Amino acid sequence: MLQGTRIKAQTNVALPFTFIIYALFAFLFAQLIILLQTDVFMSGIFRIPPIWMASHLLVLGFALMVVFGAMYQLVPVALLTPIYSERLGFVQLGVTLVGVTMLAIFLGIAPQYALYGGIITVIGVSLFLLNMFLTILQQKNKNIITAFVIAALLSLFVTIVCGLLLVINIVTGFLRVHDPLLFSHMTFGLVGTFSLIIFAFSYQLVPMFSLAHGHKNQWAKTACILYVSGMMTTVVSFWFSNENMLLFLIGNGLLLLGFCAFLADIYDMLKNRLRKRLDKSFSFSILAICFGFVCHVFAFGLAALQITSVRTWGILIAAYTMTWIIFSILGYLNKIVPVLWWTHKYAEQIGKEKVPTLQEMTNEQLNTILFLLFIISFFLFIVGLLLTLKGVAVFAQFIFTLTAFTYVASLLRVFSK
Amino acid sequence: MNIKEEIKQALYEVIDPELGINIVDLGLIYHVYLDDATNDITVHMTLTTPGCPMASSIKQGVQLRLEQIKSIGKVTVNITFEPPWTPGRMSEKGRMMLQQR
């Protein structure tokens, strides 16, 4: 039984808010760079400084910073354990923001100096990992969400180590294994860190937002084992399977099966929900799960057909990043920010005076339009890339960027409620 | 209105901010103990899910609303998940409100 008279909010809101606000601006900058570099995307050459900058702003500056902010807020409630050290969290905030900003800028304009940003980023991420592992150590009853979080944090650690080695290699050229290292970096980052953390969040948030009751999470352990095994097998295939793609195919098969197990649990939750009308932000995150599944099916198909085209895989990775990872985050963020702000502003007023509900803090009509535009413009962008229609790709990315600006403005408006 | 009525009324005024439904119709209140001698009150309540980010706010809402009642003594709010909340605890009105949201 949780006893007490007055309760302090779980985490100082300045910590998650700063990460999230930085993330929103990084998201906008990334979209602007992609808009200005649509030509490069058309050519299928992805390994150039502007793309490094945009991808790191999107993945590190936006997605990872949202994950950091959300974890500082949600870990105490999801794992029922307070953050080990808020002070360490604020130190990590400062170090990480400086590191990520330097890394992204240097990758774009002077890659030879990116190492400095990389080192600071690694220090910042390491501080986060330390804080989270110490928090998890304090947790009394560990559960499947803990397993997903640990797997995601370990993946994040390996991702930053691989990333640092890649940056050192760009500067010194001492490694002869650049490609396997790059592919491992991307797999641990996108498939490991982000997918696993979205799995963890979803197991917590989907039943909560849909008011599901009676669901069993019976596939959660299977999903965790299969997905982590798939990720490891895929990474091993980059290093030891030069001639045939069998190991790569097995890895992608395991990832697909792991995702199916996760999907089965989400379906079970939604089937057992009491709340029939889901709000738009949450529905968008659910749709993102479906997109993630489709991307895994495509990845398995490409691996089965032994397709190695960099352009094809590049487009699939872009689709996986945007439609599964970024869309999931955009949907959940639209739910998390009002909760954070409401807790900050109204926690002392509830019971004393009339306070707004969370639904009254966002504009559902606008959300519907924004999420539709995100989906339509991104798919139009992909069509433009696949058919090499520059005008279509530029137009689509222009709409996407405009939608991103409106989304950010709409989210920032929550702070005026 | 006697104090018991006032307490009941006060609890109806605490709204779950995510669902927009009051905590009584949601079936979150398990027991309310009133000490007739001191007017101290102890509320045993639950939440729809253990990892609810609004948990502390809802608990605080109950605390603050009850403290507004004149002549009330010390207010203690306990959250328990034994037994866990089930949809069967919702009132008919609560169910109808949920369908509309």
To the nearest whole Å, the CA of B35 is away from the closest chain A CA by 17
To the nearest whole Å, the CA of A9 is away from the closest chain B CA by 7
pLDDT of residue B20: 86
Inform me whether the C-beta atom of residue B18 falls under 8 Å from chain A C-beta atoms: yes
CB A21 within 8 A of CB B99: no
pLDDT tens per residue across span B82-94: 888 998 899 999 8
pLDDT of residue A244: 66
For domain B3-100, the CATH architecture is 2-Layer Sandwich (3.30)
Q: Which amino acid, one-letter code, is at A138?
A: Q
Size of interface A-B (CB pairs under 8 A): 109
- The three state secondary structure string of A171-234 is HHCCCCCHHHHHHHHHHHHHHHHHHHHHHHHHHHHHHHHHCECCCCCCCHHHHHHHHHHHHHHH
Read off the tokens for A118. Answer: 């990389």
Strand ranges in A302-350 using DSSP code E only, listed in sequence order: none
Inform me whether the C-beta atom of residue B3 falls under 8 Å from chain A C-beta atoms: no
Query: Which are the contacts of A263, defined by CB distance < 8 A and separation ≥ 6?
Result: A289, A293
Partner-chain contact B58 A348, CB within 8 Å? no
Chain B residue with minimum CA distance to A75: B51
- Collapsed DSSP state (helix, strand, coil) of residue B75: strand
Mutation target among B54, B75, B86, B96 for the A interface, most CBs of A within 10 A: B54
Check: complex ipTM more than 0.90? no
Distance CA A156, CA A129 (A): 8
Kindly list the averaged pLDDT for each block of 10 residues, start to end, along chain A of length 417: 44 87 94 86 74 89 93 83 91 95 90 88 95 91 90 95 87 81 94 95 90 90 97 93 82 98 96 89 95 97 92 92 95 91 82 80 92 96 90 93 96 89
Distances (CA, A) of B73 to A135, B36, B76, B91: 38, 10, 10, 29
Mutation target among B26, B59, B98 for the A interface, most CBs of A within 10 A: B59
Q: Read out DSSP for A73-137? A: HHHHHHSS---S-HHHHHHHHHHHHHHHHHHHHHHHH-GGGHHHHHHHHHHHHHHHHHHHHHHHH
Distance CA B101, CA B93 (A): 13
Out of B78, B87, B98, name the one closest to residue A2 (CB): B78
Out of B20, B50, B98, name the one closest to residue A357 (CB): B20
Out of A1, A6, A211, name the one closest to residue B48 (CB): A211
Q: Which among A91, A18, A98, A105 is positioned nearest to A57, based on CA atoms?
A: A105
CB A199 within 8 A of CB A223: yes
Distance CA B84, CA B49 (A): 8
Partner-chain contact B68 A1, CB within 8 Å? no
Read off the tokens for A404. Answer: 């991103």
Q: Which residues pair with B22 in a beta bridge?
A: B15
Partner-chain contact B53 A9, CB within 8 Å? no
Q: Would you call the peptide bond into B83 cis, given omega within 30 degrees of 0 as the criterion?
A: yes
Out of A77, A348, A352, name the one closest to residue B52 (CB): A77
Out of A8, A213, A351, name the one closest to residue B62 (CB): A351
Chain A residue with minimum CA distance to B84: A213
Out of B68, B78, B99, name the one closest to residue A352 (CB): B68
Chain A residue with minimum CA distance to B17: A357
Inform me whether the C-beta atom of residue B22 falls under 8 Å from chain A C-beta atoms: no
H or E segment at A388?
A: none
Residue with tokens 């395991």: A254
Q: Which among A9, A62, A108 is positioned nearest to A407, based on CA atoms?
A: A62
Partner-chain contact A275 B98, CB within 8 Å? yes
Distance CA B75, CA A361 (A): 30
Write out chain B residues lying below 8 Å of A282, CB-based. Answer: none
Distance CA A271, CA A266 (A): 9
Mutation target among A2, A143, A202, A273 for the B interface, most CBs of B within 10 A: A2
